[in-house]
Each structure stands twice: as C-alpha cells, then as structure tokens.
C-alpha cells in the first residue's frame, strides 16, 4: 500500500519516472508484507560478446564502463592475396589475408572517449590508443550534430546514410583478421562517458524534466543502464540510500542526511482510547525478526580485474541457505564494493527496529523520507510512512544505522589474468649478404634480413624489397623472434687480419636492453662461433662483457673474417652491428635481384614510416676471395721476373695440411693488371697462380708511372675477386 500511495504522489509531481522514485520509499514497507525479492534491479551481463540483432537495447553508459556493443553496419570480408617467391629456385607461394570494416554501437547517450578495446579477450587497443592489429579506428561520440562516417557514406546510397546522432559508435576500417581466425572477433570496449566522480543527477538527465539530485555515488566508476532507470535505482538503493521527496513542485533526491541536524519530534501524544496504540505512552516500539534472506553478497564489475564480474560478501555469521545476492551493473573496486555491501547489511539490520509515534500536529518538514530524532530514544530514525487517525497522525519510524567511522574494510578482488598492454615499439633492421660456407645446400648468394626491436613485446614486421622504383615487393613476415643487432658506439681501430687482435675492442649498443651476448673459447671461435658484422667487416670476438643495460664491450678479436680484410680500416662510430648466429630471414636472390641501390624494407605496427636498409657486403657470396702472399722472383738468365701468389677459395674455410683449397669455380683464371690512380694501363691473363713478365716489359710501365701497382684478381664464374695489390720490383 505504501508503494502505491507514494507512487501515486510521485506520478502526480514527476510523471511516470517520479512515480518510480516515489515507489522506492514505500518499497521497504511492502517488503515486510510480501517478503523480500530474490532479484533486484538489472543483472550483470558477464561481459557478453558483441552481437548484431534487431530489437536489442543499446544501454546508456555512465562514467567508465566496459561494454560489448552492437554491430550496426558491416561490409563483407575482403580478401587480400600476396605472392612470394616464384624465381628459379622454387615455386611461388600465395598467402591470403582478410580484412573487414564494421561499426559498433556503444551507448545511447553521448560519451567522451574510448580507452582500451579487447578482441577475443586479447587487447586490441591499448590505453595509449595504439591498435595492436593493423587497421583504422574512429570514434563518433554521439553528439546531436555528429557527421556521417565517410566510410559508411561511401559504401551506402548517397543521401541515405544515417549519421546515428545521439548514438555513440565506433568504426573499424580494414581491420586485419588474421589474429582472430579470419572472422570478426568478440569485442568489448572501455567506454569513458563522464568525468568522475559519478552522481545520481547524471542518471536523471534527459529523463526527468524538473528535478534536483546532487547525490554522489562514491566508489562507482561506471554504470550501465540497459533496462528501466527505476530498476537501476532499485539496485542502488540498498547501497546508496537516498532521501526522496516528491511532494512539492520539484522532485528532490538528497543524500543520506544523517550528517545534517535532524528534526526532533515533539513528545508523543497520549490517547484515552483503549484500542489506540501506545495508550498513555503515545508510542510503541518493536523489533522485527530476522529477514528470510538478508543482504549478504554484491556482484559487480571489478575495475581491478579489467571489469570482469566480481563478488564481495558482508562480514558476519552466514545464515543457512543461499545468501541474498544483489547484482549491481556498476564498475567498482573491491574495497568500494565491500564497503557498499557492509553498509547495506548494517542498514538492513538496524532497520528491524521500528517505532510507531503519535503526533497531534502535522509539520510540513516531517514527511516520509525525513530523518528525525525521538525524545528519550537514541539514534536517528527515518519516517517510513504516516497515517491519519482520529487521535492524531501515526508516524512509522525505522532506525538508521550509525555512521561508520572505522573506514574502508580490507577487500581482495581476487587473482586476475588480464591482457597485457604492451606498447608498440619501432622496428630495427639490418641486411647483409654472407660469404658462401661451401655447403652445396646453401643458397648463393645468401642474403639475410635481421630485424629486432627494443622490447620483447615487438609483434614483428612485414618485409619488402625496394629496387629503387618505390614499388615494394613482399618477402613475408619477420615473425616475433628478435635478432641481436645494434650500433657500434666506438670506431673499431685497424688491425692485422692475420693476427689475434688483443689490443682493440668494440663497444656496441644492442637494440634491446634484454638482449645478451655470450663469450666464446678459442676452440669455439675456430668452429665459427661469435661471428658478427660491424660496418663492412666480419669479426669474431672471444670476450663479451656487459657495461650497462644493452651496452656490451667486445674484445679478443679475429679480424677480416670471410674475405672482409679490406674493411679492417676506416671504421666509423654508429655503424650497424649484427650477430651472425643463424637468426634472420633469408631473402630470395631472385626477388632481391642485382640492381644497385636495392634496399630491404620493414613495416611494423610501431613504425611511423617504413624502415629501409641497404644490403651490406653485396656480392661477397658470388666473388672468389682475393689471392694472398704475392712473391717476386727473377727468371733464370735475366730474362724477366716471375710473380706468383696463393689462391683462396669461396667456401674453403677449413685448414687442411698438404691439400690445396678447393677451386669452387668451373675454371681457374686470373686477371693481372697494371693500375695507377684507378686507371688500368695494361692487362694480362693466367690460368695458374703464377705469371712471368718478359725482360723490360714492366720497366717501361714503372718508369712512366712510378706509383703504379700490379693487381691480381681471380675470375670466378659470376664475379671477379677483390684485388691483391703488389708493387713491381725495381730494375
């Protein structure tokens, strides 16, 4: 009855919604008559998946909440094909990927922003606004003048595309679906609708025309209203008690006024009628029995667990049977939820004390919902209802719980496995060609692309070849494995490639502080360990010592390895460093081609621009190694001089006593030239590692060009070796 009466008063003043507010006051009395309900307010949706169904409600979002949304527009999946390989070394491979464009409705009232986005439980968009998967994201906040989305407008009939004004929605354009099984994933969004703290007035805005509701909702970070607002207020009422006044011209909602001086009732009026309650005292006091299902558990969305549903239980002895659980579709932390359920349980326990009080005069300030004091009775009381009688006005009062001064109780949200928000990092890239190792199964030339990043959270990058015309030829993905690359801090000093370099050292900064390098023994070095590229020289190092996070000092060096002895001098600070430990992506020689200026390009999610690197040591795998150890000897009889040298071979890295290195070419041919200032003045050819000059043949050249030198190059199947330079003997 109290609910019906107060609902009628509220409807008269505040319309249908005012009736719902007025019903909150009378609900407590009806609860005693008809029994407590097993379910109050809206239910938690357990972070349901994104759907696309006609007729489904789109909730109003308040504060900061995690919502699933409704797909309101989408294109068909778009297929993309990428052909890789196809040269002389093997067949081509065509990879297919799929993208989709779609729009998701988030809130039926305007919002301010969208924070994180989850897709199939994984983080799709971080707190910094970075997408973890390729694609484009746009947000329409739901204002009354928002324009149409350009993608939707282009796809739909001109002039027939809705702007969805008043509806906040997100648009994904060309979202790559490879990480989600080539389907649109189940999405959930962290919606930021209002600035904290949230208050009750925001819930009434746009629903009630004339109201005053400056009621704070401490601890609530966000709220989702999918059903009627009255249901949500019913769920809030046990935890956030509100003084509701719908008796004047304006609907007024006030916070609990126990901190404000309460009205003191006059002494109870006695009655001479035998049947009147209270008799000569003018009042009666009773204590109701234990409720069948007292408030014991609150279920909510836990902000410390990425808005996953959580539960907190009120302290005290548990009663037999299933505890009464109230589901609050709000985002709270564990401590705030624990405090809310403690307040609700304490409020319900104290409200069992009921006093019926008779007054003879009706004070306009003393009406249902008002907080009062009673002469001779401790504590604060709230007017629950009144009733006119012949001997006066009968007020029914319930005891209010004392103000809690003990602070917030400790609460544990429970263990949560949340999706990590890894920041996107740029790609580091180095590319080089390696000397042939003599293995017939090794491609010639062997071109490697070595990609890395500063963080192990790097998601990899797509590799391409740029032949200088701006067209990018795909090579495939790098994967998530990081190569050990970096930058030389110091300039490596020159040294002999024929001696173990104990004096020089190299200081390098690796791409990531977590990357490490190990030392190696002399035996391990002889087996090829710790090969590294610095600039255009391949070295091996015995000792690697960390001197700072990501910075290493390399010493005990073997220099000019793999035929790079011509690069032992001329190093500069800032040269690319790469550990040649078998990591890296092999680049097809047919795709790379032989065009000068060809670059390897990497594009990752964290790269603001493509990362391009030229191929170091270009051609080293094709050309023979330069000859060594030039020797001059006079021919018998003074008939001239003989020049001889020692041959080296591609792939002939093993030292075998008594056996010459393998030729590794179809024929043995050498080109001998006399050069000065880069100009070739004479040329000879030999099929053996020796050549004889006739008497006086060199004298004329050296006399005319005293700075001239002899250059010896081995002619391989595909290229000439680097020259061996020697000065002719003086006549």
Final residue of a domain: which of 574, 591, 616?
Answer: 616
Over residues 104-115, the pLDDT tens digits come to: 999 999 999 999
The pLDDT assigned to 524 comes to 95
Mean pLDDT, rounded, for 715-724: 92
Q: Are residues 89 and 176 in the same domain?
A: yes
660 in any annotated domain: yes
| CA-wise closest residue to 589 among 447, 395, 407 | 447
Over residues 216-251, the pLDDT tens digits come to: 888 899 999 887 878 888 888 888 877 766 666 777
Cβ pair 64, 106 in contact under 8 A: no
More confident call, 265 vs 51: 265
Give yes or no for residue 183 having a pLDDT over 60.
Answer: yes
More confident call, 275 vs 619: 619
Q: Are residues 437 and 581 in the same domain?
A: yes
Q: Are residues 432 and 563 in the same domain?
A: yes
Give yes or no for residue 5 having a pLDDT over 70.
Answer: no
Residue with tokens 């350009």: 150
The mean pLDDT of the chain is 85
Q: Are residues 598 and 709 in the same domain?
A: no
Residue with tokens 């050309």: 623
Torsion-angle region of residue 164: left (phi > 0), alpha (psi -120 to 50) or beta? left
Q: Are residues 652 and 598 in the same domain?
A: no
Q: Are residues 591 and 471 in the same domain?
A: yes
Torsion angles phi and psi, residue 434, rounded to 5 = -105, 150
Minimum mean pLDDT range among 406-410, 414-418, 459-463, 657-661: 406-410
Per-residue DSSP letter, 467? -
471 in any annotated domain: yes
Q: Could you give the angle at the alpha carbon of 204 between the alpha carbons of 203 and 209, nearest 5°?
A: 160
CATH number at residue 700: 2.60.40.10
| CA-wise closest residue to 72 among 169, 196, 188, 183 | 169
CA 621 to centroid of chain Cα atoms: 41
The pLDDT assigned to 203 comes to 84
List b or e across 267-279, with b for residues whose CB sees 16 or more CB atoms inside 10 angstroms: ebbbbeeeebbbe
256 in any annotated domain: no
Final residue of a domain: which of 185, 219, 250?
Answer: 185
318 in any annotated domain: no
The pLDDT assigned to 420 comes to 86
Longest Cα–Cα distance in the chain: 159
Q: Are residues 590 and 690 in the same domain?
A: no
Terminal C-alpha separation, the chain: 131
Strand order across the 324-332 sheet: 122-125, 113-119, 187-192, 60-67, 222-225, 324-332, 295-302, 308-313
Dist CA 13 CA 38 (whole Å): 31
Give yes or no for residue 679 having a pLDDT over 80.
Answer: yes
Give yes or no for residue 668 having a pLDDT over 50.
Answer: yes
Final residue of a domain: which of 140, 164, 185?
Answer: 185
The pLDDT assigned to 101 comes to 95
236 in any annotated domain: no
The pLDDT assigned to 27 comes to 43
Cβ pair 463, 475 in contact under 8 A: yes
For 148-181, the DSSP string reads PPHHHHHHS-TT-----TT-EEEEEEEEE-GGGT
Q: Are residues 536 and 604 in the same domain?
A: yes
The pLDDT assigned to 393 comes to 87
More confident call, 663 vs 499: 499
Which range, 55-64, 93-102, 134-143, 213-222, has the best average confidence (pLDDT)? Answer: 134-143
Q: Are residues 598 and 683 in the same domain?
A: no
Dist CA 135 CA 75 (whole Å): 14
Give yes or no for residue 687 having a pLDDT over 60.
Answer: yes
| CA-wise closest residue to 480 among 454, 460, 463 | 460
The pLDDT assigned to 49 comes to 53
* Omega of the bond leading into 299 within 30 degrees of 0 (cis): no
670 in any annotated domain: yes
Query: What is the number of domains present in the chain?
Result: 3
Give yes or no for residue 601 having a pLDDT over 90.
Answer: yes
Q: Could you list the residue range(s) of the whole structural domain that residue 434 is in?
A: 428-616
559 in any annotated domain: yes
Q: Could you give the angle at the alpha carbon of 28 between the alpha carbons of 27 and 32, nearest 5°?
A: 110
The pLDDT assigned to 17 comes to 39
Dist CA 536 CA 560 (whole Å): 9
pLDDT tier at 15, thresholds 50, 70, 90: very low
Record the pTM.
0.76
Share of the chain above pLDDT 70, in %: 88
The neighbour count for residue 439, using CB atoms within 10 Å, is 10
Over residues 506-559, the pLDDT tens digits come to: 999 999 999 999 999 999 999 999 999 999 999 999 999 999 999 999 999 999
Q: Are residues 79 and 138 in the same domain?
A: yes
Minimum mean pLDDT range among 4-18, 48-62, 516-530: 4-18
Give yes or no for residue 43 having a pLDDT over 70.
Answer: no
Dist CA 384 CA 350 (whole Å): 14
587 in any annotated domain: yes
Q: Are residues 598 and 702 in the same domain?
A: no
pLDDT tier at 118, thresholds 50, 70, 90: very high
Over residues 630-665, the pLDDT tens digits come to: 999 998 877 789 999 999 988 877 767 777 788 888
Find the helix packing angle between 2-34 and 229-236, rounded to 10°.
Answer: 50
Mean pLDDT, rounded, for 449-472: 93
Q: Are residues 451 and 566 in the same domain?
A: yes
């Amino acid at each position: 009855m109290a609910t019906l009466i107060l609902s009628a008063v509220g409807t008269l003043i505040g319309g249908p919604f005012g009736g719902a507010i007025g019903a909150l006051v009378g609900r407590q009395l009806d609860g005693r008559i008809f029994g407590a309900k097993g379910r109050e307010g809206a239910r938690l949706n357990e972070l349901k998946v994104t759907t696309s169904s006609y007729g489904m409600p789109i909730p109003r979002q308040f504060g900061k909440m995690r919502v699933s949304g409704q797909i309101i527009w989408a294109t068909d999946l778009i297929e993309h094909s990428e052909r890789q390989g196809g040269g002389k070394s093997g067949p081509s491979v065509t990879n297919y990927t799929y993208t989709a464009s779609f729009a998701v409705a988030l809130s039926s009232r305007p919002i301010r922003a969208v924070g994180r986005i989850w897709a199939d439980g994984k983080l799709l968009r971080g707190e910094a606004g970075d997408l973890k998967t390729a694609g484009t994201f746009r947000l329409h906040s739901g204002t009354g003048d928002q324009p149409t989305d350009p993608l939707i407008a282009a796809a739909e009939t001109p002039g027939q595309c809705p702007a969805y004004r008043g509806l906040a929605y997100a648009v994904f354009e060309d979202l790559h679906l490879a990480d989600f099984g080539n389907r649109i994933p189940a999405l959930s969004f962290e919606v930021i609708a209002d600035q904290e703290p949230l208050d009750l007035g925001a819930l009434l805005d746009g629903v009630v025309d004339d109201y005053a509701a400056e009621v704070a909702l401490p601890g609530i970070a966000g709220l989702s209203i999918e059903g009627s607002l009255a249901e949500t207020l019913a769920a809030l009422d046990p935890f956030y008690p509100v003084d509701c006044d719908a008796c004047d011209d304006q609907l007024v909602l006030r916070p609990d006024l126990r901190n404000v001086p309460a009205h003191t009732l006059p002494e109870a009026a006695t009655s001479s009628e035998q049947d009147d309650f209270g008799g000569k005292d003018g009042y009666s006091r009773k204590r109701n029995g234990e409720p069948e299902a007292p408030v014991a558990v609150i279920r909510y969305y836990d902000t410390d667990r990425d808005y996953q549903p959580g539960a907190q239980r009120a302290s005290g002895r548990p009663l037999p049977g299933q505890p009464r659980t109230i589901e609050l579709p709000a985002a709270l932390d564990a401590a705030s939820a624990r405090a809310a359920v403690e307040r609700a349980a304490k409020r319900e326990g104290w409200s069992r004390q009921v006093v019926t009080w008779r007054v003879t005069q009706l004070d306009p300030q003393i009406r249902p919902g008002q907080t009062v004091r009673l002469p001779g009775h401790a504590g604060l009381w709230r007017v629950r209802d009144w009733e006119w009688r012949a001997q006066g006005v009968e007020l029914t009062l319930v005891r209010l719980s004392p103000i809690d001064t003990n602070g917030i109780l400790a609460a544990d949200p429970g263990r949560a496995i949340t999706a990590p928000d890894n920041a996107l990092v740029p790609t580091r890239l180095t590319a080089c060609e390696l000397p042939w190792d003599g293995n017939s199964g090794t491609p010639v030339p062997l071109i490697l692309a070595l990609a890395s990043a500063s963080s192990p959270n790097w998601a990899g990058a797509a590799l391409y070849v740029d032949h200088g015309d701006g067209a990018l030829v795909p090579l495939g993905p790098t994967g998530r494995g990081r190569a050990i690359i970096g930058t030389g801090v110091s300039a490596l000093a020159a040294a002999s490639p024929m001696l173990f370099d104990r004096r020089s050292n190299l200081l390098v900064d690796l791409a990531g502080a977590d990357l490490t390098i190990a030392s190696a023994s002399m035996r391990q070095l002889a087996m090829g360990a710790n090969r590294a590229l610095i600039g255009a020289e391949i070295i091996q190092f015995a000792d690697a010592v960390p001197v700072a996070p990501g910075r290493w000092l390399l010493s005990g060096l073997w220099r000019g390895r793999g035929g790079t002895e011509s690069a032992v001098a001329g190093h500069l600070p800032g040269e690319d460093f790469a550990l040649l430990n078998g990591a890296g992506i092999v680049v097809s020689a047919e795709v790379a081609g032989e065009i000068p200026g060809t670059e390897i390009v990497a594009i990752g999610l964290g790269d603001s621009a493509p990362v391009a690197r030229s191929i170091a040591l270009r051609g080293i795998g094709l050309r023979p190694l330069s000859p060594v150890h030039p020797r001059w000897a006079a021919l018998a009889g003074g008939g001239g001089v003989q020049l001889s040298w020692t041959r080296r071979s591609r792939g002939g890295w093993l030292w075998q006593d008594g056996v010459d290195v393998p030729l590794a070419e179809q024929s043995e041919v050498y080109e001998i030239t006399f050069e000065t200032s880069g100009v070739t003045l004479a040329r000879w050819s030999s099929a053996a590692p020796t050549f004889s000059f006739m008497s006086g043949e060199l004298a004329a050249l050296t006399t005319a060009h005293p700075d001239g030198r002899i250059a010896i190059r081995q002619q391989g199947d595909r290229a000439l070796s680097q020259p061996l330079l020697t000065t002719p003997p003086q006549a």
